[in-house]
A and B are shown apart, each in its own frame.
Chain A
Amino acid sequence: MAELILRRVLVAIPTIIIVSMLVFALQKLLPGDPALLIAGEERDPKVVEFIREKYHLNDPVPVQYGYWVMNVLTGDFGISLRTDTPVTTLVAQKLPVTIQLAVMAMIIALLVGVPAGILSAVRKGTVTDYVANVVALSGLSIPNFWLGILLIFLVSVQLGWLPASGYVPPSEDLWLSIETMLMPAFVLGTALAATLMRHTRSAMIGILRSDYIRTARAKGLRQNKVVYKHALRNALVPIVTLMTLLFGELLGGAVLTEQIFTIPGFGKLVVDAVFTRDYQVVQGIVLCTAIGFIVMNLFADILYILINPRLRGA
């Protein structure tokens, strides 16, 4: 088992190296001279040249990559060319926001998705199952940005129930913080809930059909007890694994949702940075989220190896 885990860790290393190359190449491909952007409306040629020199923009790309990797390895992810803020500071500022959004979306998804999945599995083939499936598919099909716009208009502008956008740190005002994040978390949560529901349903159906549940039923255990005690415990394995993975994805930031609700998390930061050619920020944040994603995957892998009885002996 330890060997299996070690192998997974080793595999992650070349992946991270390739990610770093991809991320670097990606920003090099972006059109538009970042130096021109920093030089502003006036575009003083001397300033432009100074900036090109300062950030090694005149060097060949492999040399620039070398500079960047060396700096990253010493913990220097660069600075925002637009505001001078170090990328590490930005990560520290944005990570709690993104995590809060991810956690709230996940809670909403859990509260809706798992019970719906169980219900659907237990009542497989009935109208309940059918409706739950169509609703879940709808949740997967509705574009987030459209849902976001509609919600802002209905809930904030028309009804005035929730703040339209922005972010309030929980340390400042916990209730207001949750209130502000509720709509975006809901928008994200709809898709997550649908995914969770579908997985829960499949897992439950598989397990309900398996021999030991049939045995348990044959022994005369009541339906409810069977479902909750035996089946659910087994279905938890894939659900927990899936949630770890989904969480890893959410760390990448909810790009459009954050954009529409003006939430200062990773997603908005990266898109704004792409648009303003703030390339050190693009590099730094994409690298961080990709590594976060890989680590969460690794975590899910290990978790799965640990809790899956079939693999425990391996």
Chain B
Amino acid sequence: MLKTRLALFTLALLTTSAASAQTLRIGLAEDPDVLDPHRARTYVGRIVFTALCDKLIDISPKLEFVPQLATSWSYNDDQTELTFKLRDGVTFQDGSKFDAEAVKANIERAMTLPDSNRKSELSSVDSVEVVDPQTATIKLKQPDATLLATLSDRAGMMLAPAAFADGKEFSQNPVCSGPYKFVQRVQNDRIELEKYDGYWDAEAFPIEAITYLPITDATVKLANLKAGDIDMLERLAPTDVPSVKGDTSLDFVPVTGLGYGSIRFNTNNGERSKKPAGANKLVRQAFQAAIGRDVIDQVAGNGIFPPAQQPFPPSSPYHSDKFPVTTRDVDKAKALLEEAGEPNPSFELVFGTGSANQQLAELIQAMAAEAGFQITLRATQFAAMQQEMEQGNFDAAMINWSGRVDPDGNIHQFVTCNGNLNDSKYCNEDVDKALNAARLTSDVEKRKALYDQAQTILQQDLPLVYTYYQPWPFVLNKNVTGFEPYPDGMVRLKGMNVE
């Protein structure tokens, strides 16, 4: 009865809103940050950039590199020069021409802007050389296997040089090279884009305008979708999976992402690392045995949290069969704790506020308790948590990583001795050696062997216990067609339409 009424209502809405079709309204889980690809840092921001700014190269759903603004690329023999052939006839949204000079200006800006968040990604780049208007060469300080992946994301996005010249605030009026141009933004409310008619591939984009609507409450976001007030949403709350699956007017399109959820133990950062969980790897192994990743998937994830044992998702060629997902074994956990001489280790688990995180933390707390762990939980704001972690003021923390196309981005900075995000201050020379070596070669087989080598150690030491791969669950109204999900969780608008 209810279902039919809802369906009827949605149908009525669809017919009434037909006039305003050609505008795609996307519900985002949060408000994007600065609309400047060189400074931005959020996932939702990247979703907007995907429409706003083209990149030198893009990725395929299988994580292969494909042409976008560059039609082809090649390395020199010693892998220190990367040359791009640029697409002809491309213009920025202000009508100016896209050429090798623009590539140089963009990469130089990303490298030199004081508050650029792309600096470390481009740290291997020495200079950019304009060979001719359609050819640009990036010269490297040393070989960098991660560079192509870097350039397939924000660091490779091409902004109109005129829009950032002379200290102009690019973020307030971004002009880029993508299929849709900026119209207006109301913070915390909406970002509006409209089609750029001069786009080089304009016919492939039938939708006339895009509105991004940040709706932080997952329930309200879904209610909006069901009421037809938005056409699609990203990051459905796992708790709503059953209700969406049962709704015939909606399409549920989940895709396993590149990132993961994990629990980081403080193994070596200050006083708090001296607690059993930080000091003794047996305790961490017991913890791993005590939690069931399949239970997390079923209870917290409603089946969309694929269990993760390693930092590389199944879609990655670096995902290794050598590290299968461990199963829950309370007896084994108890035995390990016995062996460690710590039958009831206690620690505090901090996590970012939010009901989904809270549920996951409570679940982990409950499972570990059965093996004898005494975990206290503390929810805190993400900013405060980051600061505490950096200072070593934590026992264990639940942290997520949004994931990178290149495997290096998912592991190197978290576990190498001087890694920028290594809040455990975990340090193992052999791990460092293997991970540093993997940066220098682009041979997939050789890199995979090096990553396996590092992981063999890490799976014993467990400074990080991976729990699940981050899903990107999209939900669309049936009237939206042509959407293809990518592991990077972006909404690529090519071929999409609203009927």
A positions within 8 Å CB-CB of B: 31-34, 36-47, 50-51, 54, 80, 82-85, 90, 93, 149, 152-153, 156-158, 160, 163-167, 259-262, 264, 268-269, 272, 275-277
Contact = CB atoms under 8 A, between A and B. Distances in A.
Contacts of A152: 219-220, 223
B215 A262 contact: yes
A64 to B, nearest CB: 18
A276 B383 contact: yes
Interface in B188-230: 188-189, 213, 215-217, 219-220, 223-224, 226-227, 229
B5 interface: yes
B421 A84 contact: no
A151 to B, nearest CB: 11
B452 interface: no
Interface in B363-408: 381-387, 390, 401-402
Contact of B172 (A41, A84, A93, A165): A84
Given A47-B119, A158-B2, A36 B387 contact: yes
B119 A83 contact: no
List 5 A-B pairs, minimum CB-CB distance, nearest first: A40-B41, A32-B383, A264-B189, A164-B223, A32-B384
A25 B41 CA distance: 28
Contacts of B220: 152, 164-165, 260-262
A262 B229 CA distance: 13
Most-contacted residue by chain B among A37, A165, A261 (CB, 10 A)? A165
A156 B227 contact: yes
Contact of A40 (B42, B187, B217): B42
B421 A43 contact: yes
A117 B187 CA distance: 40
Contact of B386 (A43, A47, A93, A276): A43
Interface of B: 2, 5-6, 9-10, 31-36, 40-42, 114-117, 119-121, 169, 171-172, 185-189, 213, 215-217, 219-220, 223-224, 226-227, 229, 353, 381-387, 390, 401-402, 413, 420-421
Nearest to A38: B115
B420 A44 contact: yes
Contacts of A40: 33, 40-42, 117
B224 A163 contact: yes
B117 A164 contact: no
A201 B31 CA distance: 45
A166 B171 contact: no
A277 B33 CA distance: 13
A39 B41 contact: yes
Contacts of A163: 224, 227, 229
A287 B31 CA distance: 23
Contacts of B32: 83
A281 to B, nearest CB: 9
Given A45-B420, A90-B187, A93-B186, A160 B213 contact: no
A85 B115 contact: no
A42 B420 contact: yes
Contact of B115 (A43, A50, A276): A50
B168 to A, nearest CB: 12
B479 to A, nearest CB: 17
A258 B49 CA distance: 28
A82 B10 CA distance: 36
Contact of A83 (B115, B187, B386): B187
B188 A166 contact: no
22 contacts: A31-B381, A31-B387, A42-B117, A44-B120, A47-B114, A47-B117, A82-B33, A83-B171, A84-B36, A149-B219, A152-B219, A157-B226, A158-B2, A160-B6, A160-B9, A164-B223, A164-B229, A166-B224, A259-B217, A262-B215, A262-B216, A269-B187
Contacts of A50: 114-115
Nearest to B121: A42
